[in-house]
Amino acid sequence: MATKFNSKSPTMKRIMREAQEMSKSPSPDYTAAPLETDLFEWHFTLRGPPGSSYADGLYHGRIVLPPTYPLRPPSFRFLTPSGRFEANREICLSISGHHEETWQPAWGVRTALVALRSFMETDSKGQLGGLDTTDAVRKRLATESRGWRCSACGGRTNQEIIKESEDAAKAAEVQAGEGSSKASEVEVPPELSMGFKDEMEKNAAAAAAAGGTAGGNIEAVARAMEDAETAELAEGFVQTVPRADISSGAASETAAGLAQPGQSVPQPTRTVPLPNAAHNTAVPQQQAQLQLQQHTLNDRGVPKWIDRVIAALVVCLAGMILKVILGH
């Protein structure tokens, strides 16, 4: 029985749109489609890169889309032995190869398949999850891969699956006119790279342990700022105030919130001349507040001449108050 999904969710709309696009614009070199029972699990078949030890091979694999796709990247597993990648080991694509958060939502399954195909030609020396085998072994595995069958794909061989995609691509090219397939070729983004998910998790854990508490705090702050920026972009909000000003303002609010009883946090206040002698005790407090206000303005980058004017006003104000008091 097929699983029911919310077809109105952005993730489902994206998955359905990509599946439709893959069907309408087939490629003779690769194909991918979701399972009828689970739209989040796709199976792909691709040709080996031309001019390489994998050129005669047809390789089958599985794609798992996360619930938050396309905000997070899909993961891949090659099910067919190739001599390049370990079979049934999860692969993730990202910009850095270490943090899947760097995946770009604009990329899709087609872009990832083209990238995987190009990565087969790269050198696997020293790469975790990569296999160092001879060209003879890879050529032998390439020949054997054509008859590999997938039970989830109706028991069809890789040869049969890619043949259907090749025929569909030729038919689409004839219908749309020559040259259309070349115009729709997908280019691999230069910043896109590959990594194995289990190794990504190990590296992330090791980095967190080595960084200690300070490193964790920095990472938490960075993630918070990144999440805030993402939320602003999603809501169409454009930041017009430098983030440094916002950070300093937030720090001031935090200091005010953490002030202990008996302590005071400097805040700008208005001062009014008091003609009454009964307010004599308020004069030192007003002077202290104005001095604190002066220091606060200095920290914010106020010109020094304003500070001098304020100091002169304080002296004049004190003199006026004393004159009123002595006059009475």
Catalytic residues: 92
In degrees and rounded to multiples of 5, residue 193 shows phi and psi of: -140, 180
Non-local CB neighbours of 93 within 8 Å, separated by 6+ positions = 73, 74, 76, 103, 107, 112, 115, 116, 192, 193, 194, 195
Long-range CB pairs of 183-188 (<8 Å, 24+ gap) are 184/25, 186/110, 186/111, 186/114, 187/114, 188/111, 188/114, 188/115, 188/118
Q: How far apart are CA 291 and CA 287, in angstroms?
A: 6
> What is the C-alpha separation between 118 and 146, in angstroms, rounded?
19
Give the residue from 140, 125, 142 showing the smallest Cα distance to 50. Answer: 142
DSSP letter for 133, please: -
In whole angstroms, give the CA distance from residue 74 to residue 289. 60
Task: Please provide residue 139's backbone torsions phi and psi, each rounded to the nearest 5 degrees.
Answer: -65, -40
Distance CA 173, CA 183 (A): 11
Tell me if the bond preceding 70 is cis, omega within 30° of 0: yes
